[in-house]
Amino acid sequence: MAIAFHTFLLQLLLFFFASFAEANDTRKTYLVQMKVGGHLYGSSSGHQELLGEVLDDDSTVADAFIYSYKESFTGFSASLTQSERQKLMRRREVLEVSRSRNLKLQTTRSWDFMNLTLKAERNPENESDLVVAVIDSGIWPYSELFGSDSPPPLAWENKCENITCNNKIVGARSYYPKKEKYKWVEEKSVIDVTGHGTHVASIVAGRNVEKAGYFGLAEGTMRGGVPNAKIAVYKTCWRVIRKDGRADSVCREDNILKAIDDAIEDKVDIISYSQGFISKLQKDKVSWAFLRALKNGILTSAAAGNYGNYYYTVANGAPWVMTVAASLKDRYLETKLELEGEDKPIIVYDTINTFETQDSFYPLLDEKASAESTRKRELIAQSNGYSILSNYEKDEGKDVFFEFAQINLLDKAIKEREKGAIVLGGRSYDFNESKKLQFPIASIFLDKQKQGKLWEYYNKDQSKERLAKIHKTEEIPREEGWVPTVADLSSRGPNCDSFLANILKPDIAAPGLDIIAGWPENVKLSSDRPSNDYRHLRFNIMSGTSMACPHATGLALYLKSFKRWSPSAIKSALMTTSTEMTDEGYEFAYGSGHLNATKVRDPGLVYETHYQDYIDYMCKLGYNTEKLRSHVGSDKIDCSKTEIDHDADLNYPTMTARVPLPLDTPFKKVFHRTVTNVNDGDFTYLGEINYRGEKDFDEIIVDPPELKFSELGETKTFTVTVTGISKRNWKKNKAFMTRNTWLTWTEKDGSRQVRSPIVIYSINGPKACM
């Protein structure tokens, strides 16, 4: 999920679900979910036979059939008319026929911020045996970031389309969607034409490249979290032009399922997935595919979504997925507009100006006021009733300023070589540290609040020439003691699904703002508007949960290079060793906390959750047996003998429960947990309840309060009982929540701490979530 510095309108990384109007007379791509067992249509040939039985007279299987799935999904995808779809839905072998939905795509300093520095201890031989699957928009294979001196893993079979595999890129495949209602601007190829996939892949496993930076900003050594690891690329996102002329990307669900299918068969070590949408589990076929990946020992790291500071918006919220929120780094980008004669400059955090600070003050030119001026000027641009005025060529250039609605005029300003541009925006263009603007000219963006200072200065004394100087953006360290916080763009929990109401999401937060990483040199830095931006660079700055996700992927791979643990153990280690955070959304914004590599290799204790635990959990919550069988591809599942328990517990590293409305109701919640010792020797851990700020509960009891271990792999079980009254304590949401409260198991000598947030909540959500 990400929002790029390089463009103000490109929403390529924003997560959302795009629904499509059905039309009876056109073919559309559908996913046909089959029942498990009891019929003869379970194979690829069976899928095609079934399809042939329902096709209209003028259709052929060759034209309609798209994919048959083996590992990720029980069924196949096909291009169908409405009548063909209806016929399939009436077949007893078919569970569901649903549209293939369109998903949207959602670092020189960031790894240091997570304490995974250049000096961190590494295991390069083991690292080079690890393969990360990047399911995204392809890759720019010619970047120096994607080279390696070590060969691929011995058991790995290189599979590359359109390009030649090398020691770094050991797999590269693309999944071209059926053309439906877009203008396609790229052919079937793994080459990245948007930059998103290249950026993501380089964050995870790019090799060290010195003297990296972005026009002098954030200079240093660019590297991935695991620079010796290998990359397998699965391209599922494509650049298109919609009917209304807007550039967009298409990431089709059926293609993503096929990519996961291949990744499982390829036996990758981890999946990095920076796409998604808000969806309930019953409709979210991609999340169930990730459970099948987990059954094969593959952890999935996924972006939480860029829906912003709203609750019930988290994507990829299944408990078997590691869901990653986006945080701010310990440095921020600041741009100044200096006004001659004023003591203080106007400072903004929503602009990237890569051009050097202007060498002197330049006259301000308001396009409205200039029309009445007696100065000698020439009309140089006019569009939709708006105009910009400037001097003749012999006169000194100006810093022009105009409303955001007139942004098309910027091309003219660039062409006429104005000195700079001050873009004014209102409420409908609210940009902040999460969403930044930049233009191919010295520039600064002023929102409604900031522009008031400009107008005050401009109108103060019109007998004098008003002069301004636009400064180059600077990277500023945050004050000492700063506590990490979540980006405004990052989606918040809780889960929009009653089956997942007692699972805290997102799981973890990682750097997702102002991330410098690899970029295709054939892709403009500003690929949308203005059209005059022809800048190209090996690196680019992007923001979003799409950038946070590969940081978590990288740290998980780093840990796996030392420990061959299960997916849930690796995920637990990242969560319980995380750093405390602050945010008005509390744990629904950041989960366990901020990734911290310092102690991730020695978490002390882990919460193991196995494949069967997830199946049992869904059965206890009342999930339909037939659907569950189809989701996971097994006819051995039978939930009919399982007693329904809507308070069922999962051995998760966090402890969360939704208590019913209305507020001011007493509650009691008991959590059952089992931890596994991951060290040799005798250890004693003491349980302690900690909280920051106000106490939002009556009592929390840990039983037993002490855990003793004598051998590696030993397990201990305990309970945490929370009692209280759900009094409104969260004014913004008229809700109740136990905030900043956690259980910490501390090893007696203080060397290890295992921290687990405790969240009891009662909150109104959208009716669709209930």
pLDDT at 401 over 80: no
3-state helix, strand, coil in the chain (%, to 5): 20, 30, 50
* Alpha-carbon distances of 270 from 49, 197, 294, 498, rounded to whole Å: 35, 16, 9, 28
SS3 of residue 404 by DSSP = helix
pLDDT at 187 over 90: no
Token look-up 């590293």 returns: 653
pLDDT averaged over the chain? Answer: 84
pLDDT at 472 over 60: yes
SS3 of residue 247 by DSSP = strand
Ranges of H-type helices in 55-172: 61-64, 82-89, 110-113, 124-127
- Report pTM: 0.88
What is the mean predicted confidence (pLDDT) over 75-99?
A: 94
Neighbouring residues of 481: CB distance < 8 A, sequence distance ≥ 6: none
The confidence score (pLDDT) of residue 430 equals 41
The catalytic residues are 136, 196, 546
Neighbouring residues of 642: CB distance < 8 A, sequence distance ≥ 6: 616, 619, 620
pLDDT at 99 over 50: yes
The confidence score (pLDDT) of residue 160 equals 93
pLDDT in tens, 654-680: 999 999 888 899 999 999 999 999 999
pLDDT in tens, 150-171: 999 998 999 999 899 999 999 9
**Residue 645 in contact with residue 634, Cβ under 8 Å?**
no
pLDDT in tens, 104-154: 666 445 766 666 777 778 888 889 999 999 999 999 999 999 999 899 999
